[in-house]
Structure 1
Amino acid sequence: MGRVQDDNGSRPHEAMAGRDAFTEEALDWFAKLQHAAGERHVAEQFDAWRESDARRAEAFRRVEALWNSSELRAAVKASAAPSRTTASVTRSAPRRGASARWSIRLAVAAAVVILAVAVAKFPDFMLSMRADYRTAAGESQKISLPDGSLMTLNTASSVSLDFADGRRAVTLLSGEAFFQVVHDPQHPFRVTGHLGDAEVKGTAFSVRTDETEDKVLVREGLVDAGPLESRQTRALLAAGHGAIITKASMSPMPEGDTERELAWLDGRISFVDRPFGRVLDDLRRYYGGRIIVTNDRLKRTAVSGDYRLDNPELVIRSLAEATGAKFTRLPGGIIFLR
Structure 2
Amino acid sequence: MNKTLKKNIGFLHLWLGLISGLIVFIVALTGSILVFEDELDQFFNPEFYKVAAVGKEKLPVDVIIADIEKQYHITEIDRIHTFYDPERSLIVTGPDDNKKDQIFSVDPYTGKVLASIPQKGRFFSVVLDLHRHLILGKFGKAVTGISCLIFVFMLLSGIVLWWPKKMKNLKQRLTVKWDASFKRVNWDFHSTFGFYTFLVLLVISLTGLTWSYKWFESGIYLLADGTAKKPSAKVENPTKTDPKGDKTFFYQKIFSKTDSIYKFKGDTQIRMPSDTINSVMVIKLNIEKSIPNISSMAYFDKYTGEIVKTKPYESFSNGDKIRRLIYPIHTGSIYGYPTKILAFLVCLFAVTLPVTGLIIWLGRKKTKKK
**TM-score range, shorter-chain basis?**
under 0.3
TM-score for both structures, normalised by structure 1 = 0.27
TM-score for both structures, normalised by structure 2 = 0.26
Larger strand proportion, structure 1 or 2?
Answer: 1
The answer to which structure, 1 or 2, has the higher relative contact order (CA under 8 A, 6+ apart) is 2
Larger helix proportion, structure 1 or 2?
Answer: 2
